[in-house]
């Protein structure tokens, strides 16, 4: 295992342990609003600090792009951190959230780790080396079609002006898919696509820390990853489509045929 992955796993597990302990003592959790329907807890901040401290003990000069503290440092190696992806789930006791850590080297995502502290599932991937769930290789079924597909998504809850157009795309995809799930953690949804538990996923309004690790896992498990236009701008472009090749292609076609796509053509 690559040394950077070892450190990412160590950091994710320590942060996950802290998160579960905090959830067991609700009085410890303090909540503030970053924006409309966008909350942060002291546990998000503490989890992020734990991860960064583990990394700094081993790689003191590396840079960070983290959800709560932003971009710090300058180095060819950057750690992209979401300390709790699914904060709203976490603060309501809904057991679906994760720690997501990716490592980019010279702008390319090379490693990713996602840890679900509730189930203790550990997802990991390295570019060109495949993806694993709890030490078992993850491979998607490349022949899976949308008619059989369980597909994940996320609502544009931060930008309600997109609601109407999003619902049209949702209706079109739901009409063809086996079923749709909205779990509240994009990172964990992406990991579950890589694991074959979901067969596709799309969402808008995302940030690099939401998708960096999970998208690498989908790629390394044999899946497809793009933005709505089918291009490779998913890390910075705030929208993403992933899935088995056939499911990814059909979701993308349906989005492009919907009014939602007009918001992202540029």
Predicted pLDDT of residue 33? 67
DSSP strands (E only) in the chain? 31-35, 38-41, 63-66, 70-72, 77-85, 98-105, 108-116, 121-126, 130-133, 136-137, 150-153, 179-181, 200-204, 224-226, 239-243
Cα–chain-centroid distance for residue 215? Answer: 7
Report the C-alpha gap between 162 and 236 in whole angstroms. 19
pLDDT exceeds cutoff 50 at 190: yes
* Structural domains of the chain, ranges and CATH numbers in brackets: 3-137 (3.30.540.10), 146-263 (3.40.190.80)
The rounded mean pLDDT for the chain is 93
Is residue 114 over pLDDT 50? yes
d(CA 217, CA 191): 6
CA distance 252 to 128: 25
Rounded to an integer, the average pLDDT of 31-51 is 78
pLDDT in tens, 193-234: 999 999 999 999 999 999 999 999 999 999 999 999 999 999
Q: Note the pLDDT of residue 132.
A: 98
Task: Provide the pLDDT for residue 266.
Answer: 45
Which carries the bigger pLDDT value, residue 172 or residue 237? Answer: 172
- Inform me whether the pLDDT recorded for 47 exceeds 90: yes
Residues composing the chain: 266
Q: How many CB atoms lie within 10 A of CB 249?
A: 18
């Amino acid at each position: 295992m690559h040394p950077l992955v070892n450190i990412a796993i160590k950091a994710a597990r320590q942060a996950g342990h802290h998160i579960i302990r905090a959830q067991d003592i609700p009085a410890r959790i303090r909540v503030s609003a970053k924006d409309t329907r966008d909350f942060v807890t002291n546990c998000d901040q503490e989890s992020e600090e734990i991860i960064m401290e583990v990394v700094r003990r081993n790689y003191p000069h590396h840079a960070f792009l983290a959800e709560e503290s932003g971009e710090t440092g300058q180095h060819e190696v950057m750690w992209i951190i979401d300390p709790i992806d699914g904060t709203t789930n976490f603060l309501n006791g809904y057991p679906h959230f994760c720690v997501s850590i990716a490592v980019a080297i010279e702008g390319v995502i090379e490693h990713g780790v996602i840890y679900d502290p509730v189930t203790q599932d550990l997802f990991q991937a390295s570019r060109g080396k495949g993806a694993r769930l709890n030490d078992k290789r993850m491979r998607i079924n490349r022949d899976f079609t949308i008619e059989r597909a369980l597909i994940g998504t996320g609502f544009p809850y931060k930008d309600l002006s997109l609601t109407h157009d999003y619902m049209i795309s949702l209706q079109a995809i739901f009409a063809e898919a086996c079923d749709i799930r909205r779990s509240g953690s994009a990172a964990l949804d992406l990991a579950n696509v890589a694991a074959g538990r979901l067969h596709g996923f799309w969402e808008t309004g995302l940030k690099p820390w939401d998708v960096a690790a999970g998208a690498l896992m989908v790629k390394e498990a044999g899946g497809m990853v793009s933005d709505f236009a089918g291009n490779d701008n998913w890390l910075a472009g705030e929208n993403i489509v992933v899935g088995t090749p056939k499911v990814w292609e059909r979701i993308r076609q349906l989005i492009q045929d919907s009014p939602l796509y007009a918001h992202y053509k540029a």
